[in-house]
Amino acid sequence: MDGHGHTHSTSDRRELQMARSMCWHCQSEVSGEYFCDRCVKVQPVSKELDYFTCFGIPRRLSIDQQKLEAKFYELSRAFHPDFYQNKSDAEQTISLGNSAMLNTAYRTLRDPIQRAEYLLDLEAGAVKDIRTTPPADLFEEILELQETLDEFRASDRASDKAAALRTQLQSERATLEQRQRDMEAQILQLFGQWDALQDRGEATEQARAERSRILKDMRVILSNRTYVKNIVNDLVATIA
């Protein structure tokens, strides 16, 4: 099929996974180029396109931020609606769709937590459905905190009691934020494990088990982190 060899190098080619294999405008074949070879019209990217592929980077959790940013600017120059103001409605619509997807992809990959969540969605499949149970001590902590919050809400804000409760809540906030940081550190550790496993590229039973373990651990920690984060937000909003 590929006798020319040029498709092996995607870095400098204007190629992405596209929605259709034919140009919407001139009906000529487009094999991944995001501008039609013949009529030079912009093409819609596929909804199936995963963000890592979009930016031409491997599916790893530690990523080269500079490379990501450079690619983002490059693709933005290709798709940004500003460059399509004088073009047809169809082209404007495609530019808008591609740009929206690109922006979401960039925002997702730039942030380590969102990146991990996204990778889990891509990789996990079944793991995603595993309901996670935060550790019991976390519940106790949160239940107590909620009770204190209730008390604070019901108290007269000018009273000594409210002041004492506020101090207590501040210290609980610090504890929870520390907990959140600890979890983020744990996630970063898992990043390293995941990437190392991917780099080894083994297809053994052991590697598969390791893969599931990492994904599951990541899911658990991420979901607990969200839990703690929501509670902290609630706390901050209440005592503000």
Distance in Å, CB of 16 to another protein, minimum = 33
**Residue 231 binds another protein (CB under 8 A):** yes
Q: Which is nearer to another protein, 91 or 172 (CB)?
A: 172
> Directed axis angle between helix 160-200 and helix 112-124, to 10°?
50
Among 133, 159, 170, 171, binds another protein (CB under 8 A): 133
**Using alpha carbons only, what angle is made at residue 236 by residues 230 and 237, rounded to the nearest 5 degrees?**
90
Q: Residue for token digits 């409210």?
A: 162
Among 49, 108, 134, 217, binds another protein (CB under 8 A): 134
The radius of gyration computed from the CA coordinates of the chain, to the nearest angstrom, equals 24
Among 62, 146, 159, 171, binds another protein (CB under 8 A): 146
Q: Residue for token digits 């909620």?
A: 146
CB 26 within 8 A of CB 45: no
**Residue 226 binds another protein (CB under 8 A):** yes
39 Cα distance to chain centroid: 35
**Residue 184 binds another protein (CB under 8 A):** no
**Residue 148 binds another protein (CB under 8 A):** no
**Residue 154 binds another protein (CB under 8 A):** no
Quote the CA–CA distance of 180 and 66 in Å, as a whole number: 27
Binding site for another protein (CB under 8 A): 132-134, 136, 138-140, 142-143, 146, 223-224, 226-227, 230-231, 234
